[in-house]
Amino acid sequence: MKQFKLTAVVIFLFFWTESLTLPTKSQDVDNFQVTQKFIEDNVGYLTIIAFAQYVQEATLEEVEVLVKKMIEFRDKCVADRTLAECAKLANDILQKSICAMEGLPQKYNFSHCCNKSDFERRLCFLYNKKADVGFLPPLPTVDFETKCHAYQQNREFFLNNYIYEFARRNPFVFSSTLLTVAAHFEEVAKTCCGEEDKASCFGTRAAPVIQNLKALSSYQKNVCGAFMRFGPKILNSIYTAVLSQKFPQIEFKEVVSLLEDISSQYNGCCEGDTVHCIQGMSNVMSHICTKQNSISSKVKECCKKTIPDRGECIIYLDKDEKPKDLPVREAKFTDSKDVCQHRDADQENFMAEFLYEYSRRHQDLSIPELLRIGEEYENLLADCCKTENPPDCYGHAEEKFNETTEKSLKMVKQECERFQNLGKDDLKYHYLVKITKMVPQLSTEELTSLSKEIVAALDMCCVQSEQFACVDNLVDLVLGELCGVNKNQTINPAVDQCCKSSFAFRRHCFEGLKADKTYVPPSTSQDLFTFHEDLCQAQNGALQRKKERFLVDLVKLKLQSKDEELHSLLTDFTNVMEQCCKTDGPESCFSEEGPKLEAKSQAASETN
Interface residue with ligand NAG among 88, 305, 500, 508 (CB under 6 A) is 500
**CA 581 to chain centroid:** 42
Distance separating alpha carbons of residues 462 and 411, to the nearest angstrom: 12
Nearer residue to ligand NAG within complex by CB, 23 or 105: 105
Nearer residue to ligand NAG within complex by CB, 156 or 399: 399
Distance separating alpha carbons of residues 551 and 199, to the nearest angstrom: 35
Distance separating alpha carbons of residues 159 and 563, to the nearest angstrom: 48
Nearer residue to ligand NAG within complex by CB, 85 or 120: 120
Q: Should residue 398 be labelled a site residue for ligand NAG when binding is judged by CB under 6 A?
A: yes
| CA distance to 138, 431, 514, 545, per residue, from 551 (Å) | 25, 11, 18, 10
Nearer residue to ligand NAG within complex by CB, 122 or 558: 122
Q: Should residue 204 be labelled a site residue for ligand NAG when binding is judged by CB under 6 A?
A: no
Stretch that binds ligand NAG, among 154-162, 394-402, 438-446, 588-596 (CB under 6 A): 394-402
| Site size with ligand NAG, rule: CB under 6 A | 13
**Least CB distance from residue 174 to ligand NAG, whole Å?**
19
Cβ neighbours around 231 below 10 Å, total: 10
Distance separating alpha carbons of residues 123 and 487, to the nearest angstrom: 11
Q: Should residue 560 be labelled a site residue for ligand NAG when binding is judged by CB under 6 A?
A: no
Nearer residue to ligand NAG within complex by CB, 366 or 486: 486
Nearer residue to ligand NAG within complex by CB, 269 or 536: 269
Q: Using alpha carbons, select from 482, 511, 512, 521 the residue that is nearest to residue 499.
A: 482
Nearer residue to ligand NAG within complex by CB, 202 or 358: 358
Q: Are 496 and 488 in contact, with CB atoms under 8 Å apart?
A: yes
Nearer residue to ligand NAG within complex by CB, 192 or 228: 228
**In degrees to the nearest 10, what's the CA dihedral of 79, 83, 89, 94?**
-70
Nearer residue to ligand NAG within complex by CB, 184 or 229: 229
**Least CB distance from residue 553 to ligand NAG, whole Å?**
27
Q: Should residue 211 be labelled a site residue for ligand NAG when binding is judged by CB under 6 A?
A: no
Nearer residue to ligand NAG within complex by CB, 112 or 532: 112
Helix, strand, coil percentages (3-state) for the chain, rounded to 5, are 70, 0, 30
**Least CB distance from residue 399 to ligand NAG, whole Å?**
5
**Least CB distance from residue 238 to ligand NAG, whole Å?**
17
Categorise residue 561: left if φ over 0, alpha if ψ from -120 to 50, beta otherwise: beta
Q: Should residue 115 be labelled a site residue for ligand NAG when binding is judged by CB under 6 A?
A: yes
Which element (helix H / strand E) includes 216? helix 198-230
Distance separating alpha carbons of residues 250 and 206, to the nearest angstrom: 36
**Least CB distance from residue 112 to ligand NAG, whole Å?**
4
Stretch that binds ligand NAG, among 204-212, 270-278, 481-489, 597-605 (CB under 6 A): 481-489
Q: Should residue 399 be labelled a site residue for ligand NAG when binding is judged by CB under 6 A?
A: yes
**In degrees to the nearest 10, what's the CA dihedral of 77, 78, 80, 81?**
70
- Rounded (10°) angle between helices 252-271 and 232-246: 130
> Which of the residues 17 through 56 are near ligand NAG (CB under 6 A)?
none
Question: Phi and psi of 498, rounded to 5°?
Answer: -60, -35
Site string for ligand NAG, 271-310 (x = CB under 6 A): ----------------------------------------
Count CA atoms closer than 13 A to 109's CA, side-chain side. 5
Stretch that binds ligand NAG, among 262-270, 371-379, 429-437, 485-493 (CB under 6 A): 485-493
Q: Environment class of residue 471 by beta-carbon count within 10 Å: exposed (0-12), middle (13-18) or buried (19+)?
A: buried
**Least CB distance from residue 271 to ligand NAG, whole Å?**
12
Q: Should residue 537 be labelled a site residue for ligand NAG when binding is judged by CB under 6 A?
A: no
Distance separating alpha carbons of residues 385 and 344, to the nearest angstrom: 10
Q: Are 480 and 473 in contact, with CB atoms under 8 Å apart?
A: no
**Least CB distance from residue 349 to ligand NAG, whole Å?**
24
Q: Should residue 112 be labelled a site residue for ligand NAG when binding is judged by CB under 6 A?
A: yes
Interface residue with ligand NAG among 298, 452, 487, 545 (CB under 6 A) is 487
Nearer residue to ligand NAG within complex by CB, 398 or 572: 398
Interface residue with ligand NAG among 19, 33, 152, 488 (CB under 6 A) is 488
> Binding residue per annotation — 197?
no
> Which of the residues 355 through 374 are near ligand NAG (CB under 6 A)?
none
Nearer residue to ligand NAG within complex by CB, 228 or 479: 228
Question: Phi and psi of 89, rounded to 5°?
Answer: -65, 125
Name every residue whose Cβ is closer than 8 Å to that of residue 317 and which is 6 or more positions away in sequence: 246, 296, 298, 299, 302
Interface residue with ligand NAG among 33, 191, 402, 490 (CB under 6 A) is 402
Site string for ligand NAG, 92-111 (x = CB under 6 A): -----------------x-x
SS3 184: helix
SS3 522: coil
Q: Are 130 and 56 in contact, with CB atoms under 8 Å apart?
A: yes
Count CA atoms closer than 13 A to 101's CA, side-chain side. 26
Question: Phi and psi of 131, rounded to 5°?
Answer: -70, -35
**Least CB distance from residue 497 to ligand NAG, whole Å?**
11
Q: Are 463 and 457 in contact, with CB atoms under 8 Å apart?
A: no
> Which of the residues 453 through 472 are near ligand NAG (CB under 6 A)?
none
Interface residue with ligand NAG among 229, 430, 507, 547 (CB under 6 A) is 229
308 cis-preceded (ω within 30 degrees of 0): yes
Residues that bind ligand NAG (CB under 6 A): 109, 111-112, 115, 228-229, 398-399, 402, 486-488, 500
Binding-site residues for Zn(2+) sit at: 273
Give the residue numbers of the binding site.
273
